[in-house]
Amino acid sequence: MIEKILVSFDLDFTLINNQEGILNSFDYVFSKYNIPQKLDDNFKKMIGIPLEKVFSKISDLNPIELIKTFREYYAKKGIYQVEIFPRVSEILNSLKEQNIILGVVTSKKQELAIKLLDFLQISHYFNFIIGETPKIKSKTDINIKNFFDENYPDYSYFIVGDHISDRRLAEMLNSKFIGVLTGNHSKEELLDDSSVPVLILENISQLSVEKFISFMNIYS
């Protein structure tokens, strides 16, 4: 039996591929406000960071209004333009069977993240789902660290994600980071200047209980 392990997953491009829904939501905003922004590879690298930062970088318009328009489309259509990556349910179930605490930390609005996980029928695997709220604005918000410290003080943490922001969460929590290459960041980008141990996998299907144990033992 494995004890005292907590695994926190990112959502977009880690457990699910919802690029279509996200890009269509951005396109809806750009079309409505005549923003001349291309949905190219450079732009795709911004997916995963808070929307306010994205819109502030590409437009002088009020980012709050742009976010409202983005979520207007996403909540009605974009959220359903998604597919779950292969073996995700199987992997989550195998980890849950070992009494590993599972959670999600996402830059998505929390209520939308819960709605999406319910739609995909995998929300029951998670002990917690943390997203953007009036009190939490990013993955490195101190309130997230406080949540981990207060609720799981004696656990070994593993953060799993595809984005630099996920590694920064791991660094804030002083935890191990497992990077997956199903997003828009390379192996080198996920490894570069990391202050915490990093394991890189091609995709989430390579994850297993044995991987966690091995990774933990190497750095114990």
126 close to 101: Cβ distance less than 8 angstroms: no
CATH of domain 19-80: 1.10.150.240
| Of 78, 48, 73, 53, the residue nearest 64 (C-alpha) | 53
Instruction: Name the pLDDT band for 209 (thresholds 50, 70, 90).
Output: confident
What residue ranges do the domains of the chain occupy? 5-16+83-218, 19-80
Task: Compute the mean pLDDT over every residue in the chain, rounded to the nearest whole number.
Answer: 93
Do the two domains 5-16+83-218 and 19-80 of this chain adopt the same fold?
no
Instruction: Name the pLDDT band for 210 (thresholds 50, 70, 90).
Output: confident
In the chain, pLDDT over 90 holds for what percent of residues? 79
Contacts of 22 (CB under 8 A, 6+ apart): 12, 47, 74, 78
CATH of domain 5-16+83-218: 3.40.50.1000
In DSSP notation, 144-195 reads HHHHHHHH-TTPEEEEEESSHHHHHHHHHHT-EEEEESSSS--HHHHHTT-S
Instruction: Name the pLDDT band for 1 (thresholds 50, 70, 90).
Output: very low
pLDDT in tens, 31-74: 999 999 888 888 888 887 789 999 999 999 999 999 999 999 99
Q: Is the pLDDT of residue 94 over 80?
A: yes
